[in-house]
Amino acid sequence: MNQNSVKTIGINDEPRKDSYLVHVNQVDGLKGILNRDFNNWSNFDSWESISVQQWIFSRALEVLRGVKIDIKCDCCEHNYLIVNDSKSIKKEKCFGKKSVYMIEKVVDEIVLAKARRESDGTYSA
């Protein structure tokens, strides 16, 4: 996955010209999930909202197809940093960065599952 495939932009940031723009505040239930403790919101399979899971999963599939996605948060004026590790994301307050983290996590899981299927389970990729 290209590191620039999905990124967070702030309220005053313009989306990239070649990206698909989504707004965190337009996804019913997403903020409620991401506002929980890290151990709760980072466990995608435990989310009780199927529609929010589907939204994250759909964005992950778009990223795998090569679509660039800009996620506009409503909590930051500008967003320059890319959060891509679990140590720094645990302290993060930005819903956009948390969304990016979850999308990237699901992309990684899809890639790993595909590699395992293609190897017939004879070894772990």
Chunked into runs of 10 residues, the chain (125 residues) has average pLDDT values of 80 93 95 94 93 97 95 84 65 92 94 84 56
Predicted local confidence at residue 91, as pLDDT = 86
Angle at 102 between CA 118 and CA 99, to 5 degrees: 145
Domain ranges of the chain: 6-118
Provide the whole-model pTM. 0.86
At 28 the pLDDT is 95
CA 110 vs CA 24, 79, 80, 84, 119: distances in Å: 23, 27, 27, 17, 14
